[in-house]
Chain A
């Protein structure tokens, strides 16, 4: 053994210490990077499934548009849906007043919910918020009265709200809320309730997905009525009665108000179309829900008749003689594009402006378009929402665009934070972040990534299950001898081809496929192992089952459209018609007998009509591994 001098041993020890530190630091950074990759994967899964759903809906819209344009008025399919394209029959204000009259609705003594006195006061609305916090429900009479007042007020507003920042302390700007009442309450808790000293801008998408969309609307409208000059609401793409059919708001209202739900929905349909399209602060900061395009023209937007554009479904058609029709239609289409671009567009990193094919409406616009539109309109900043961001906000386009998103835990508990902007007279944006629910704040980064990841994988497994027949046929192309095995490489490329979600399948494989041998996997067993429960009903026809799984949301949308009286029930005949509509949209073969059998087997109440909710529940897919 070498004789060690003291100085060598001190040096050696110091070197060991540094090496040890480096080792731990290296390891730690690897751990964080791996978590980050898992988090990105998870995010991609949620986002691509969400966008696939949106595309699906746009395809359905376009199909409806096609039906309207190409079939004779006598065609049965067109008849089922033409009512959603018809303008409101009731036109005169006096008729609306009569239709929405709340006065005949009695508030009985047994009602234990909040009372709302009119004209509304700050005190009244604050008490309403407290009541909502305690999960109370507002009586239909008060709802209709509040909505009626809101409608009357909104009609007096211009398309673009102009706000002056100089005289107030700070203005607060919130993004998408999507029915997440707990986030709105958290914002009020952190920031204070709206008032003339505390102005607010709410940038659209108040409804759908979360379960308290109506409470959010009533709260925002309440404060709007008390402080009409200090509370500003921008319309979002979800303030659209056709979108609401699919994404939960229609269902929420009908579920909470069984007798008056239909009236409430109709009144909201009008209110949504009367919501302003943009807010401008000090002529310098533009706030819109989606964004802009290269043709965005604020003067044009200021002049449109905004209530004509009730839905993104399709552009309005004007009735006029043939010579004028083409001219009128062109202006109409131009105006429609201005509105759609503002509600549906998303920013992209590259220069240019291209149609937004993911959403099906609006554009993708680049940093050059931001510069040009801001310059042309003498603005310095664009604030928009529309896209979920992990931190609740994101700057882009050289910090000239801010995305602000206020629904935390949007995809799943722990998936993202929410945020809002506070802006003083200096127009410098300050971002405040938060996350609703104490449980997720207490989780470590690793636990929270794990939780969200499990949920994303569940959603993904459902998608895989829903496409299982297509997957198996596609796999079989690589397995000519029918051995039931396929290489991992082929598995990844085939799955992507069938599902078209743009996901990193090889990276996800260890989480989705339990075992591989020498780079090969047993695909039949894998499909079986997806462990999704099937409906308890006897359905012999597998193809109808698969169609149902894949088109769950389309079915729901079509049902709700067909259910014109919003009763939640449809007759056998209407059920049959729904399938006819879906079948022609998807161009698949489903025998009339199969549909008839299905209708019989799901007539749960045996009364010749089908309850929409029960039907959809019966076929809701459940990932049984979630219970392990």
Chain B
């Protein structure tokens, strides 16, 4: 895939920031207007970003496992982290299709579901079996093939 240069960090509009703050509040289970380090990645994703876990850990300053479990961060400290992640390339429809085309051995618009499952569970930031099942439900045809353009349309339509 082509490497995209990181876009310059754009400023969030005040209305956007208000909305982020509300969403941030939804994840505060303790009531101290903060969230745990181990929640930061998910909150960013809930706000429309899709960083890798590794990228988030780097942005958090490479905390120890103990820090990840116990340290908390407030919204003011969270916002600049969110900006950094926002500047990262997010992945377009074409990127996903290109990514899946890698597995299209016969060049016929399908990939083997089984192969996809193995890749997702062994490479990159591994997914669990439950996660993979949840992703692939209803996507494989009777031959166990996945028509990936339809698949991508499906996964992008939240």
Contacts and interface: CB of A to CB of B under 8 A. Distances in A.
Contacts of A492: 18
Contact of B120 (A21, A41, A489): A21
A445 B49 contact: no
Given A26-B50, A44-B26, A489 B124 contact: no
Interface in A16-52: 16-37, 40-41, 44
Contact of A37 (B29, B46, B98): B46
A488 interface: yes
B52 A22 contact: yes
Interface in B40-58: 41-46, 48-53
A21 B95 contact: no
A23 B30 contact: no
SS of B interface (majority): helix
Interface stretch (A108-116, A162-170, A502-510): A502-510
A481 interface: no
Contact of A504 (B26, B96, B102): B26
B135 A350 contact: no
B23 interface: yes
A44 B26 CA distance: 9
Interface string A420-446: 000000000000000000000000111
Contact of B26 (A16, A41, A349, A350): A41
A349 B30 contact: yes
B107 interface: no
Nearest to A503: B22
B100 interface: yes
B158 A506 contact: no
B139 to A, nearest CB: 12
Contacts of B91: 23, 26-27
Given A41-B26, A504-B22, A28 B155 contact: yes
B105 to A, nearest CB: 12
Nearest to B134: A445
A504 B124 contact: no
A348 interface: yes
A13 interface: yes
Contacts of B96: 23-24, 27
Contacts of A444: 134, 137
Contacts of B22: 504-507
A40 B27 contact: yes
Q: Which of B1, B18, B127 has most A Cβ within 10 Å?
A: B18
A519 interface: yes
A36 B120 contact: no
Interface string B15-33: 1001100110111011110
Given A17-B123, A504-B23, A24 B99 contact: yes
B124 to A, nearest CB: 4
Contacts of B32: 350
Given A25-B120, A30-B49, A13 B102 contact: yes
B31 A34 contact: no
B103 interface: yes
B45 A29 contact: yes
Nearest to B127: A25
Contacts of A23: 91, 95-96, 99
Nearest to A29: B45
Contacts of A504: 22-23, 25-26
A32 B137 CA distance: 14
Contacts of B156: 27
A25 B100 CA distance: 12
Contacts of A35: 158
B91 to A, nearest CB: 6
Given A18-B124, A25-B125, A26-B50, A40 B19 contact: no
B46 A33 contact: yes
Contacts of A350: 30-32
B103 A20 contact: yes
B67 to A, nearest CB: 20
B131 interface: yes
B45 A30 contact: yes
Contacts of A44: 26
B59 interface: no
B119 interface: yes
A21 B156 CA distance: 16
Given A507-B22, A507-B23, A31 B31 contact: no
A605 to B, nearest CB: 49
Contacts of B26: 37, 40-41, 44, 504, 507
Nearest to B111: A20
B18 A27 contact: no
A387 to B, nearest CB: 14
Nearest to B138: A444
B15 A519 contact: yes
Given A16-B1, A445-B134, A33 B45 contact: yes
A117 B93 CA distance: 70
A17 B119 contact: yes
A29 B49 CA distance: 10
Nearest to B43: A33
B30 A507 contact: no
B135 A28 contact: yes
Contact of B46 (A18, A34, A505): A34
A36 B103 CA distance: 30
The 7 closest A-B pairs by CB, nearest first: A33-B45, A20-B99, A21-B124, A504-B22, A37-B46, A22-B124, A30-B50
Given A27-B155, A489-B18, 16 more contacts: A16-B99, A25-B125, A25-B126, A27-B50, A28-B127, A29-B41, A29-B42, A37-B23, A348-B31, A349-B31, A350-B32, A489-B14, A492-B18, A504-B23, A506-B22, A507-B23
12 contacts: A21-B124, A23-B99, A25-B126, A26-B50, A28-B155, A29-B50, A34-B46, A37-B23, A492-B18, A506-B15, A506-B19, A507-B22
